[in-house]
Chains A and B, each alone.
Chain A
Amino acid sequence: METVTAVIDGCKVEVAKGTTILDAAKTVGIKIPTLCYHPDQSIKANCRICVVEVEGVQLLQAACATAVGKDMVIKTNTMAVREARKTVLELILAHHPQDCLQCIRNQNCELQTLAHEYNVRENRFEHIDENLLLDLTSPGVHRDPNKCIKCGRCIEVCERVQTAAVYSKYNRGFKVGVAPVLNLGLGEVACINCGQCVHACPVGAIYENDQHEQVWDAICDPKKHVVCQMAPAIRVALAEEFGLNAGELEMGKIVAALRQIGFDKVFHTNFTADLTIIEEGNELLHRINNGGKLPMITSCSPGWIKYCEHFYPDFLDNLSTCKSPQQMFGALVKTYYAEKASIDPADIYSVSFMPCTAKKFECIRPEMNSSGYQDVDVVLTTRELARMIREAGIDIVNIAPEDFDAPMGMYTGAAVIFGATGGVMEAALRTVYEVVTGKTLQDINFTAVRGMEGIKEATVDLDGLEVKVAVAHTTGNARKLLDAIRAGEKFYHFIEVMACPGGCIGGGGQPYGTTNEIRQKRIDAIYDEDAGLPIRKSHENPAITQLYEEFLKEPLGHKSHELLHTHYTKRSLYPFSKEEK
């Protein structure tokens, strides 16, 4: 490895050629402030807060964008640097709302942190408020353009990672802004509600549609029987909201907290994740055996579904007709559970805790009312759950763990791994293999479909039937896969697509500031949980067996079709017409 040596603030550094001043400074314990910099994104160098002095160079240099040169003498703490930093910070703050106390990102904001670290006590520049309208058009993601600091991180994640390219800049100079085309709302364009822009945003300009007050209202309503479900990706990330490492929070403690909050029943989406595997696995075999449309593509991720509807409507018939586990759950709570518990479904208020902002859109899709009511009444993200726990004053770290309620709280390891990219595929393969071959899997770990690689492929031998599968996470990778299929370059039987990087554990509803490094830790925690469970195959879940015996009768049967399967709608690109809205 070729290295260069340089001096930063008097400390000698030796780093690989090409290392930026920012990274080199870290190696000697010097933290250079950043705002537009994001570890998973390209270098933008537009905020200019990271500028440093390089001896012999007249202009200050952006540390994030400048590679350490041979024998460079770099100074990060001179008068000129301090003046530039402070000025940049004051300029941004003077053009940013001063409502930190009410801001959804209070105490979790990159700008606020810098203002604190650099002791901004007064601002030399007069405060200017543009009074721009909030964008509340999307059921999933809301925006306060007044708070935008024009770093461009949301633009990049939407354009390069998700390839939905919803955001662009408008205007010039001081009035420059970031918004969907023609300054429309996110709910009026081909936004897939994935919420990755929420993670990209360093401040409180993009955030979820916070609906947790509605849940308090329901809980406080004595007429309502309030039940909740919780996605597998919640547990691993909720820990981070309470100062623990990913996965360190025991499931039972979350159950206990939810009871204390006031939920009448605490169930788990994992139950219907197992059910999804049974229905989807059978659908796949049905398609393979009856010349159905292949590849079949998973339909658990509502961000991906909306992406497909907007950008690849010619693939709608490839989507599995299975509803997502959340929506299967919703349909069963107000039918199967209501019947079993002898409760009028009209009195049931069904809450879903998801790592996902797109689920907020999914639950209000007009077709998601097969119980006769809106199947899931409201979806809250991991962050909103954490808010409720804090508001209720619950010490979740030290609470005594409790068990889920029966029967919809029982699940297998196969359901747990739904939370990570490749998990649905692996769970399906565990079941499909055993159903088709009648044999017991020697090793149930399909490691080829695990991990953060964008597109993963595998071929599985089902007693002579070679099943080709692929897994894509991020809609950008889904695009690559679909383009290859369209061009006839690739053929698969079965594809898993998750809209978010890393799968649901990296969803737009997870704790603010999720990065790929954090995603990997959550994935590790997910597979640890799977490995520790007694039952790890969906078809071995006794509560699912009971559900079929008592209620559904058979996979892909009449009742399944009525409650568990759905259809999709072609949507135009943007701006889409009023009728479609």
Chain B
Amino acid sequence: MSLAKEQRIVLNNYDKINPASIDEYIAQGGYQALKKALTMSSAAIIDELKASGLRGRGGAGFPTWLKWSFTAPIEADQKYIVCNADEGEPGTYKDRLIMDKDPYRLIEALTIAGYTLGATKGYIYVRGEYPQSQQSLNTAITGTKAAGMMGKNILGSGFDFDLEVFSGAFAFVCGEETAIIESIEGKRGEPRIRPPYPGTVGLWGKPTVINNVETLANIPAILNNGGKWFASIGAVKYPGTKIMTLSGDVVNKTFVEVPTDTTLYDIIYGFGGGVTGGDFLAVQVGGNSGGVLPESLLNTPIDFDSMMAAGGSLGTGAVFVINDKRDLLDVVKNMAHFFTEESCGKCTPCREGCQRLYDFMVKVCDGKATVKDLKIANGLARVMNKSALCGLGQAAPTPVQTAIKFFGNKFEEKLLQNS
């Protein structure tokens, strides 16, 4: 079997340049895209993004051009671009790679975004656990300002742009885009109700676009090489590459940037070098909110739609491999516990439901759960999927749900028989 090859777009400069040096970034073609963008109209840039087919890399897969097209035409005294760098999904560190190893790429992308959207101020909301990324970005912001590519009248274009690094405070929910806004405003990080969407009423009530680090990092290459070039890479409906981060019972606990038509099998057995400590049992893809998938789905390409159709999700691109020596139920219990700690507690289904799902898993693991309990857990998970306030609560039951769906026999073995 021939394995897929890595293709680096967002990680193109990884370990090739000194991340603190703007000159080295420029020597690799850095800031060409910004220069080009400053000669283009906002609509033309959005058209290029549309041609590229770029969709969000944070987990929701929303077309980037479409998000931008809502905000760009709005007349407002102030608009904002916010970069979501609150990379909280366990097993995920793709954004950190970019911020630590190629911060200027992100800054260039944000400046292009600011220009396209008419946003003169940007924030990079970096999780509190990433002090080194914050430092890397701050160094790069200083370097960009010194090079005259941030601040007033950038490269004589008349466009002003300023960027600020904002540290999160160790809350998983602050990866949710409206919770980021609340947090930057100095409030408790809790998601807002939508509508209004941030694109029209966002940070400080102003139109705000929020994009993930990896999403943004693709933009300079798209402008340099053209949308068509990008669209030709990987899966048709979710083109480009995706950074996948491998952890768990896999030989190479590493990261790869691959075209989006690469299969899970290739990632685990090709780049990952196979399963360690035992045979393959399951893989959780996309972070802790992702599905726990069986071997039969390993031929699924990693793109957003294929993963969705298979009953999982691409999510952030984390690949957490579980071997057959593990007690899967115990692993899933641990996943459920995560959400009892990280639900913000704002809405009832998530606040109460995450705890109840965890309690259910404890009961299962203790051999005390009944068939009725299983039915109740399934019903609860359904309600959470459909009625929680934000994506966190809607996705929180996924590990338990997919475990029940794909590994139902493991549950049945543990359920009290005469129940």
CB neighbours of A126 from chain B (8 A): 359
Whether a CB of chain A sits under 8 angstroms from the CB of B245 is no
Decide: B193 and A125 in contact? CB cutoff 8 A: no
Whether a CB of chain A sits under 8 angstroms from the CB of B165 is no
Decide: B171 and A172 in contact? CB cutoff 8 A: yes
Q: How far is the CA of A91 from the CA of B387 in the complex (A)?
A: 13
Complex: chain B residue closest to A44, CB-CB: B193
CB neighbours of A48 from chain B (8 A): 347-349, 387-389
Write out, one digit per residue, whether chain B residues 314-356 have a CB within 8 A of any chain A CB (1) or not (0). Answer: 0000000000000000000000000111111111110111111
Given contacts A44-B193, A49-B348, A176-B344, is CB(A124)–CB(B387) below 8 Å? no
Decide: B354 and A47 in contact? CB cutoff 8 A: no
Of A58, A67, A80, A173, which contacts B351 at CB under 8 A?
Answer: A173
Whether a CB of chain B sits under 8 angstroms from the CB of A4 is no
Interface residues of A in 158-179 (CB under 8 A from B): 168-169, 171-176
Whether a CB of chain A sits under 8 angstroms from the CB of B382 is yes
CB neighbours of B354 from chain A (8 A): 173-174
Whether a CB of chain B sits under 8 angstroms from the CB of A531 is no
Decide: A87 and B380 in contact? CB cutoff 8 A: yes
CB neighbours of B345 from chain A (8 A): 150, 169, 171-176
Task: Please report the number of residue pairs spanning A and B whose Cβ atoms sit closer than 8 angstroms.
Answer: 102
Whether a CB of chain B sits under 8 angstroms from the CB of A400 is no
- Which applies to chain B's interface (DSSP): helix, strand, loop or mixed? helix
Given contacts A44-B193, A83-B379, A124-B376, is CB(A169)–CB(B188) below 8 Å? yes
Q: How far is the CA of A47 from the CA of B342 in the complex (A)?
A: 18
Write out, one digit per residue, whether chain A residues 67-109 have a CB within 8 A of any chain B CB (1) or not (0). Answer: 1000000000000100110011001101100000000000000
Decide: A172 and B342 in contact? CB cutoff 8 A: yes
Whether a CB of chain A sits under 8 angstroms from the CB of B228 is no
Interface residues of B in 341-391 (CB under 8 A from A): 341-349, 351-356, 359, 376, 379-380, 382-383, 386-389
Decide: A88 and B387 in contact? CB cutoff 8 A: yes
Whether a CB of chain A sits under 8 angstroms from the CB of B394 is yes
Q: How far is the CA of A47 from the CA of B351 in the complex (A)?
A: 10
Whether a CB of chain B sits under 8 angstroms from the CB of A60 is yes
Q: How far is the CA of A123 from the CA of B396 in the complex (A)?
A: 22
- Which applies to chain A's interface (DSSP): helix, strand, loop or mixed? loop
Complex: chain A residue closest to B189, CB-CB: A172
Whether a CB of chain B sits under 8 angstroms from the CB of A45 is yes
Interface residues of B in 239-271 (CB under 8 A from A): none
Of B340, B348, B359, B380, which contacts A92 at CB under 8 A?
Answer: B348
CB neighbours of B347 from chain A (8 A): 45-48
Given contacts A44-B193, A48-B349, is CB(A174)–CB(B343) below 8 Å? yes
Decide: B340 and A83 in contact? CB cutoff 8 A: no
Decide: A83 and B352 in contact? CB cutoff 8 A: no
Determine how close the nearest CB of chain A comes to the CB of B340; give it in whole angstroms. 5
CB neighbours of B341 from chain A (8 A): 172-173
Complex: chain A residue closest to B194, CB-CB: A65
Decide: B343 and A91 in contact? CB cutoff 8 A: no
Q: How far is the CA of A83 from the CA of B355 in the complex (A)?
A: 19
Q: How far is the CA of A45 from the CA of B356 in the complex (A)?
A: 21
| Interface residues contributed by chain A, number (CB under 8 Å) | 36
Q: How far is the CA of A333 from the CA of B112 in the complex (A)?
A: 76
Determine how close the nearest CB of chain A comes to the CB of B403; give it in whole angstroms. 20
Q: How far is the CA of A299 from the CA of B352 in the complex (A)?
A: 45
Decide: A94 and B352 in contact? CB cutoff 8 A: yes
Determine how close the nearest CB of chain A comes to the CB of B88; give it in whole angstroms. 13
Of A88, A168, A172, which contacts B349 at CB under 8 A?
Answer: A88
Given contacts A88-B349, A91-B352, is CB(A59)–CB(B387) below 8 Å? yes
Decide: B343 and A65 in contact? CB cutoff 8 A: no
Q: How far is the CA of A47 from the CA of B352 in the complex (A)?
A: 11
Given contacts A91-B353, A173-B342, A173-B355, is CB(A45)–CB(B389) below 8 Å? yes
CB neighbours of B352 from chain A (8 A): 91-92, 94-95, 125, 174
Decide: B351 and A65 in contact? CB cutoff 8 A: no
Determine how close the nearest CB of chain B comes to the CB of A308; give it in whole angstroms. 26
Whether a CB of chain B sits under 8 angstroms from the CB of A51 is yes
Decide: B387 and A60 in contact? CB cutoff 8 A: yes
Q: How far is the CA of A83 from the CA of B379 in the complex (A)?
A: 8
Whether a CB of chain B sits under 8 angstroms from the CB of A43 is yes
Of B340, B346, B349, which contacts A174 at CB under 8 A?
Answer: B340
Whether a CB of chain B sits under 8 angstroms from the CB of A25 is no
Q: How far is the CA of A65 from the CA of B178 in the complex (A)?
A: 16
Most buried by A among B173, B359, B387: B387
Decide: A83 and B343 in contact? CB cutoff 8 A: no
Determine how close the nearest CB of chain A comes to the CB of B161; give it in whole angstroms. 33
Complex: chain B residue closest to A174, CB-CB: B355
Decide: B386 and A46 in contact? CB cutoff 8 A: no
Q: How far is the CA of A168 from the CA of B351 in the complex (A)?
A: 17
Whether a CB of chain B sits under 8 angstroms from the CB of A62 is yes
Q: How far is the CA of A92 from the CA of B352 in the complex (A)?
A: 7
* A contact residues vs B (CB 8 Å cutoff): 43-49, 51, 58-60, 62, 65, 67, 80, 83-84, 87-88, 91-92, 94-95, 124-126, 149-150, 168-169, 171-176
* B contact residues vs A (CB 8 Å cutoff): 171, 173, 188, 193, 195, 339-349, 351-356, 359, 376, 379-380, 382-383, 386-389, 394
Q: A83-B379, A125-B352, A173-B354 are in contact. List 16 more A-B contacts (CB 8 A).
A: A44-B193, A45-B193, A48-B388, A60-B386, A67-B195, A80-B382, A84-B387, A87-B380, A124-B376, A125-B356, A150-B345, A168-B188, A172-B343, A173-B344, A174-B355, A176-B351
- In the A-B complex, the 4 residue pairs with the closest CB atoms: A176-B345, A91-B352, A174-B355, A173-B343
